[in-house]
Each structure stands twice: as structure tokens, then as C-alpha cells.
Amino acid sequence: MSNSAVVNDLEIIKSAKEVFDIEADSILKLKDRISDDFVKAVEIIYSSRGKVVVTGMGKSGLIGRKIASTLCSTGTPAVFLHPAESTHGDSGIISRNDVVIAISNSGETQELLNLLPLIMRFGVPLIGVTGGLNSTLAQKSDVVLDISVEKEACPLNKAPTASTTATLAMGDALAVCLLKKRGFSYEDFLLFHPSGALGKGILYKVEELMVKGEKLPIISQDVLFSEAISLVSEKKLGTALLVDEKNTLQGVLTDGDIRRAVIKHPDCSNLKVKEVMTVNPKTIPHDALCAKALSIMEKYSITSLAVVDENNVPIGLLHIHDLLKAGVV
């Protein structure tokens, strides 16, 4: 190894930015290659009665492991097969109902090519992910996904950098499209992530943590503003649920609504609460997961959700404090 070159701080910053530019460009150019071949690859995987076997050597293998993991967590069963180990018995993991995704930037990785006869013998669909469009892998594949790049981010143009980034993005695109095609839901995602912060909410449904019964701050939308304030103060939940004559939810009165109303209407003596309430409030059904409720609260920067039945009648109130106590947050 040669002696270290003298590189100043500005050159380091410049080099880092060049890496980002090159790798970002490699991903953006993939957009023009999303065509019938990509759609065919999605259909092959979606229609498969087995699993996806992802294989690749070296850096491509590391990216392949991540692609397999992402597929698994988004509803598509997948495993990673090391091509060097495959010829020593591990290829038994491939069944006739599977699909193989083989990754090689050159398309000529020998360890990968050694696996092709078995894939051909089984008649397993082969999706080649390669930058070598005239390579052996491309010629043997049923579908080819082009991940070629103009150059690597490595100044020597040798270390897999831009090409592995492009491969990773292509794998993510496959996983997301399959997720949408399967109708994979937020709740499905949580089922595959029962541990850690992602999975805490799966233990609880809204009905288990919501405030209900006599503790609910429900009042008519036609009452005076002052009466609604008294209810908010009495129930100590920072919110009142406002209903019409049919008891259907029409709005909510929050602490924030109260502050804004007092500023806008110095004389509130004859003010009706429906004049200052928040209409069309965010709601959630009783059988939803608390994790779903939390995501709504975070998205809209609110601290509580009205729980309603199929007729939009309020049956509960879920507060952020209830989620905190249960460890959902």
C-alpha cells in the first residue's frame, strides 16, 4: 500500500458530495428502465406458490441479504442463498415452486453461474439483476433487471459502490410494488415486527385503552361555549366530544380551540360551542390497533382521537397519555 496522500478538509467534503451525486444519479437513471421487464418480475414473484431465493456473491450477496430481508418483512417469503455454499448442499433450499433472484453486476460471477444448471433443471423462474446485459446471467434469465451504472463512486472505479446502491434501490422497488399488489397493510407489517418499538402497539387494540362510559366528555354542539369548557375541565382529558341530536359526532373542542376562541371572542357569554369547535375531527374504530392510532396522532400533531362506531357515534376517547402508560409510545 502506498503512503497516505495529503487530503485537506475541503477535499474530503468535496469527495463525499461527489459520492452522493454519483450514487443518486445511478438511482435516478433506474427510473427510465422500469418497463415491462420489471412488471413481469413482479408478476412472477406474486404468482409464485413458493418463496423467493435471493443469491449473490461478495458485495452483491450483502445487498441480496438485505433484499431478502425486506421482502420477508413486507409480505413476500424470501431467503438468501450463498452461491459458494450452494454447490456444497445448500442448493437444497430451492424448490420447484420458488423464484430465484440472482445478483451479479458483471453477470459473470463464477460461483453464481455454477448454480444455474440446477435452476435450469428445476425449471425455476430466474430473475437476473445485473449490469452485464450481454452476460451469461442475462442470457440465462427469464427476466433481466438492468442495474448498470456509468461509473462507481470509487475513484478507482473498482469498489462496488454506485452499482450496489442501484441494486439495493431495485430490490426496494420490487418489495414495495409486491407489498401494494398483495394489499399488505399497516397491521400486517406490525405482525412481522412484534419486538421493539415497532411491535409494542400490536399488543393492544384501541378498545382496551380508550376512555369510555361515564368518563367520556360528550356534550351537545348546541350548548354554550362556557358549558363545554366546564365539561373539559371536569373530565380532565383536554377534549370534549360534540354531538348532534342523533348523537353522531360533529366536532371536538380541545384546549387549543378554547384558547383561540377566548382570543377571538373576548365576550364569550352567548357564544355557542359549535361556532368554535373543530369540525370533521380525526376518528378511529374501536377494533383498530393502538399503533395505528399513534401514527394518526403523530401525522396530525394531535393528542387524542375520538373512537366511533359504524354510525359515527362516539363510544370512546383515546388519549396519548393512555398510550404512554401502556408503553405503546
Print the domain residue range for 238.
Answer: 202-326
Contacts of 195 by beta carbon, 8 Å cutoff, 6+ apart: none
In a domain, 195, yes or no: no
Output the domain CATH number for residue 83. 3.40.50.10490
Rounded CA separation 209/211 (Å): 7
In a domain, 193, yes or no: no
**CB distance 170 to 148 below 8 Å:** no
Q: Are residues 158 and 250 in the same domain?
A: no
**CB distance 305 to 297 below 8 Å:** yes
Q: Are residues 160 and 19 in the same domain?
A: yes
In a domain, 4, yes or no: no
Picking from 152, 184, 216, the residue at the C-terminal end of a domain is 184
Q: Are residues 174 and 268 in the same domain?
A: no
Alpha helices, H only, the chain? 9-28, 36-47, 59-73, 83-86, 110-113, 116-122, 136-140, 162-182, 186-191, 196-199, 206-209, 225-235, 255-264, 290-300, 320-326
Strand partners, 144: 128
pLDDT tens string for the chain (329 positions)? Answer: 555 566 788 999 999 999 999 999 999 999 999 999 999 999 999 999 999 999 999 999 999 999 999 999 888 999 999 998 876 667 778 989 999 999 999 999 999 999 999 899 889 999 999 999 999 999 999 999 999 999 999 888 888 999 999 999 999 999 999 999 988 776 666 666 555 555 555 568 899 999 999 899 999 999 999 999 999 999 989 999 999 999 999 999 999 999 999 999 888 888 999 999 999 999 999 999 888 888 899 999 999 999 999 999 999 999 998 888 877 76
Torsion of CA 94, 97, 103, 104, to 10 degrees: 70
In a domain, 194, yes or no: no
pLDDT at 205: 87
Amino acid, single-letter form, for residue 111: E
Assign 169 to helix, strand or coil: helix
**CB distance 77 to 185 below 8 Å:** no
- What separation in angstroms does the CA of 192 have from each of 44, 232, 313? 23, 39, 33
**CB distance 171 to 181 below 8 Å:** no
Tell me the residue ranges of DSSP E strands in 85-146: 99-103, 126-130, 143-146
How would you classify residue 238: left for phi > 0, otherwise alpha for psi between -120 and 50, otherwise beta?
left
Number of structural domains (the chain) is: 2
In a domain, 238, yes or no: yes
**Is the Cα dihedral 125, 172, 150, 40 positive or negative?**
positive
Q: Are residues 306 and 266 in the same domain?
A: yes
Q: Are residues 177 and 263 in the same domain?
A: no
Q: Which of 123, 113, 105 is nearest to 44 (CA)?
A: 123
Q: Are residues 45 and 178 in the same domain?
A: yes
Q: Are residues 150 and 252 in the same domain?
A: no
In a domain, 70, yes or no: yes
